[in-house]
């Protein structure tokens, strides 16, 4: 069972620690546990309850009213609001609860409703990416266990692959240029790489997807064989045994005449000396804007 400090609850629910203490003392909304040295801590159940309370409070229910409701009633009311309201924060909170409960149906209820109203691209940008940011906080503070994290990440990955497979194949006959996609050795997650595959193919651009954790010698062999117009990589994780600058220099040496497209948090950790054929994107929206501006599609 994960345990949380009151500061963890503040980060994960958006409710100030002082307010949580007032709600505890005045309304007995949640009851913290205590260590042998009398230090308070909170459980998964406390977090889930407070997430639902935060959701209902933001939708206008008074704390005095919530204090009269049972935890089951609060959970049911929260689920009702998530079904009815088109509110991204509510949906993120609902997915967080689905992750903690390892509840696939709860995740899919929120996911498919959002997709039906906004489309898959907006769902990734405005629902799942913000949720993944919150998931990182949960993980870094040890407030979600490995099974819960893997459960929700695999669900998201499955959805990405499903929506990619629904797109028509793009050949060189219909696309003026192509993009080779990969992430370097040491990559842990491939969400951004898969989403880039979706973005590129949905714009009728040919993509060559080589997946994650590709070593530089294999990249060189692929570029030599395929001679892509663009080579795009996502560097989200530290690269083993070398700096990002060294890796980019090695990448530049093997891409030949191909243009380099670089994104990911590691690209912006410190100043880089970029080759003349390289372009960086600070965030997915910059990448989308770039793809939308280029005349890749044949007229």
Residues 152 and 11 in one domain: yes
Cα 38 from Cα 236, distance rounded (Å): 40
Q: What is the pLDDT of residue 121?
A: 97
The pairing of beta strand 33-34 with beta strand 278-281: unpaired
How much of the chain, in percent, has pLDDT values that exceed 90?
Answer: 46
Cα 7 from Cα 280, distance rounded (Å): 36
Average pLDDT, the chain: 87
Question: What pLDDT, in 10s, does the model give residues 43-70?
Answer: 888 888 888 888 788 777 888 899 999 9
Of 165, 193, 219, the domain-final residue: 165
DSSP character string of 188-241? ---HHHHHHHHHHHHTT-EEEE--SSB-HHHHHHHHHHH--SEEEEE--SPPTT
User: 107 lies in a domain?
Assistant: yes
CB 291 within 8 A of CB 205: yes
Residues 77 and 125 in one domain: yes
Where residue 206 sits, what CATH number does that domain have?
3.40.50.280
Question: What pLDDT, in 10s, does the model give residues 122-149?
Answer: 999 999 998 988 887 777 566 788 899 9
Cα 247 from Cα 241, distance rounded (Å): 10
Cα 146 from Cα 101, distance rounded (Å): 13
Element (H, E) at 152: helix 146-165
Q: Which structural domain range is residue 131 located in?
A: 6-165
Cα 203 from Cα 198, distance rounded (Å): 9
User: 186 lies in a domain?
Assistant: yes
Q: What is the pLDDT of residue 141?
A: 60
Cα 144 from Cα 9, distance rounded (Å): 13
Q: What is the pLDDT of residue 172?
A: 63
Residues 154 and 19 in one domain: yes
Return the number of other C-beta atoms located less than 10 Å from residue 5's C-beta. Answer: 16
- Of 154, 107, 129, 137, which is closest to residue 2 (Cα–Cα)? 137
Q: What is the pLDDT of residue 298?
A: 45
User: Which has more confidence, 182 or 237?
Assistant: 182
User: Which has more confidence, 89 or 230?
Assistant: 230
Cα 222 from Cα 244, distance rounded (Å): 21
Cα 41 from Cα 135, distance rounded (Å): 20
Query: Average pLDDT, stretch 63-80?
Result: 87
Number of structural domains in the chain: 2
CA distances to 9, 138, 143, 151, 209 from 1, in Å: 15, 13, 9, 16, 39
């Amino acid at each position: 069972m994960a345990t949380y400090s009151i500061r963890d609850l503040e980060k994960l629910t958006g409710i100030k620690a002082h307010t949580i203490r007032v709600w505890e003392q005045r309304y007995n909304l949640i009851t913290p546990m205590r260590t042998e040295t009398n230090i308070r801590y909170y459980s998964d159940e406390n977090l889930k309850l407070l997430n639902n309370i935060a959701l209902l409070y933001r939708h206008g229910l008074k704390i005095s009213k919530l204090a009269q409701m049972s935890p089951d009633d609060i959970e049911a009311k929260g689920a009702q609001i998530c079904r009815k309201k088109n509110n991204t924060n509510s949906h993120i909170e609902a997915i967080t609860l689905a992750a903690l409960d390892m509840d696939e149906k709860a995740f899919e209820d929120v996911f498919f409703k959002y997709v039906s109203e906004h489309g898959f691209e907006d769902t990734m940008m405005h629902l799942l990416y913000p949720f993944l940011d919150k998931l990182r906080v949960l993980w870094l503070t040890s407030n979600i266990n490995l099974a819960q994290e893997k459960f929700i990440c695999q669900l998201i990955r499955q959805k990405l692959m499903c929506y990619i497979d629904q797109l028509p194949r793009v050949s060189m006959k219909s696309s003026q240029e192509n993009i080779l996609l990969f992430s370097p050795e040491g990559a842990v997650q491939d969400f951004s790489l898969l989403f880039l595959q979706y973005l590129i193919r949905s714009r009728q651009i040919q993509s060559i997807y080589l997946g994650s954790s590709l070593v530089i010698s294999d990249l060189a062999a692929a570029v030599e064989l395929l001679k892509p117009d663009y080579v795009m990589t996502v560097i989200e994780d530290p690269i083993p045994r070398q700096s990002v600058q060294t890796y980019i220099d090695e990448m530049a040496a093997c891409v030949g005449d191909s243009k380099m497209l670089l994104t990911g948090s590691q690209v912006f950790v410190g100043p880089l000396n970029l080759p003349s054929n390289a372009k960086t994107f600070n965030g997915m929206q910059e990448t989308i804007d770039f793809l939308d501006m280029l005349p890749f599609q044949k007229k």
